[in-house]
Amino acid sequence: MRNLLISLLTVSCGVAMGQSALKPKINAGADAIEKKVITWRRDFHENPELGNMEFRTAKIVADHLRSLGIEVQEKVGVTGVVGVLKGGKPGPVVALRADMDGLPVTERVDVPFKSKVSTEYNGQKTGVMHACGHDSHVAILMGVAEVLSSMKNEIAGTVKFIFQPAEEGVYDPKLLKDGKSGAELMVMEGVLDNPKVDAIFGLHISSITEVGKIGYRNGALMAAVDQLGIKLKGKQTHGANPWSGIDPIVTASQIVLGLQTIVSRNVNITENPAIVTVGAIHGGIRQNIIPESLDMIGTIRTFAPEQRQLVHRRINEIAKNIAASAGATADVTIDTGYPVTYNDPALTDKMIGTIEGIAGKENVFVQPVQTGAEDFSFFQQKVPGLFFFLGGKPKGQTNPAPHHTPDFYIDEAGFTLGIKSLASLTVDYFEMNAVKAVNAQPSKSKKDKKSK
């Protein structure tokens, strides 16, 4: 009986004991590997690759994981890499994810490792740049893999490292597989199975969050995103005789204004924000010709399923009815994109203490909802997940460049905090679930009493 109580007490204190045993090793390992991680990041930054074209990046990742003795699977979701590290002790399975692709952006930042890669995208010549920090994500997760593999025998569980392609979409629609890409395709191909993942963690570097700080949010963090297309058909005529035709340009202008009333008059913005943006209108060829038709494209951002349905319905009603009032017709298409990036409340509540312990409670804050989107959400639809923002803004900077811009810049001083956070979340999750497993076992003493 005494031995059983000692055993249970030891396990019930497991998180604290696990922290005291492994956290110093994690911290020391992260500090020791900082320069190597920065070197990796600069190499990826100088050699960016677009979605489903990350061949060089994937090879570097796969070679590194193999050098650590980690089981590696390549070409998952076209160019994705998955590594499996089996700890020396049994336990749950935690997945850690980094996205690998760059963007069709021409870099303006004057750094020695500036991207000089160029390509043709959507019929236009453009540079290629890691303008959203995915190069940082890859380098950080490579560092986490090295730190955790060094303590493999002490880990009570399995770590699955997911290096994902095409978070920003594919370079060419022909590179889609079964109509899917990125996280959605990896999930379809079973990345969360064999072994089955119990929880997943991920981070995103932020150019507007100061180095040393971490932002998170329980529940909905980032928006669901959908693509909007409207084809308007009117009647072509001479620009000097507009009464002889049906002007799709004027009609499109009215539709753009009408769509803004969805957010201002239909959506309950006290519960969740929403966005309907028309990003481009293509139509017409000459100043004195009213064209027969034009195309409009845009983006939709929402934070709840019911809200998503409402916005879709109102877009159809407004576009078609305004077109009909002008004598034109509107063909509306809405392509469903990424779901809401939703942090599992129970998992978040349980693990936020780990992040506060690493970064300092004063440096961890509740992040406002972000109208950007992330396909990490496809993983979170299948297993509990926690996604957070890692500070990358230089201290004291007042006007940081936004993501997806030519002037996007990240301070590499925040990388070690990212390594420590992901590694610590992993080992703490293992410890917490080891406690749960032991506490769930029936007491032997009760069985003995019944047998007597």
Question: Which residues are part of the catalytic machinery?
Answer: 338, 412
pLDDT at 440: 52
For residue 266, what are the contacts with CB-CB under 8 A and spacing of at least 6?
310, 311, 314
Inform me whether the pLDDT recorded for 377 exceeds 60.
Answer: yes
Amino acid at 46: E
The predicted structure's pLDDT at residue 451 = 40
- State both tokens at 27: 């911290």
Residues of the chain with pLDDT > 70, as a percent, come to 92
Q: pTM of the predicted model, to two decimals? A: 0.90
Which of 129, 134, 149 has its CA nearest to residue 33? 149
What would the pLDDT profile of 343-357 be if each residue is shown by its tens digit? Answer: 999 999 999 999 999
Q: What average pLDDT does the segment 401-427 reach?
A: 98
**Confidence (pLDDT) at 439:** 52
Using an 8 Å Cβ cutoff, are 91 and 430 in contact? yes
Place of tokens 């190499």: 43
The rounded mean pLDDT for the chain is: 93
pLDDT band at residue 434, thresholds of 50, 70 and 90?
confident
Q: 112-118 — which CB contacts under 8 Å span 24+ positions?
A: 112/42, 113/42, 113/43, 113/45, 113/46, 114/45, 114/46, 115/45, 115/46, 115/47, 115/48, 116/46, 117/47, 117/48, 117/49
Contacts of 424 (CB under 8 A, 6+ apart): 19, 23, 26, 354, 355, 357, 358
| Distance in angstroms (rounded) separating the CA atoms of residues 223 and 236 | 39
Q: What is the pLDDT of residues 82-122, one digit of tens each?
A: 999 999 999 999 999 999 999 999 999 999 999 999 999 98
123/94: higher pLDDT = 94
pLDDT reported for residue 435: 53
Place of tokens 């949010």: 217
Q: What is the pLDDT of residue 122?
A: 87
Q: What is the pLDDT of residues 238-268, one digit of tens each?
A: 999 999 999 999 999 999 999 999 999 999 9
445 pLDDT above the threshold of 60: no
- Model confidence at 21, pLDDT cuts 50, 70, 90, reads confident
The per-residue pLDDT for 188 is 98
What is the model's pLDDT at position 168? 97
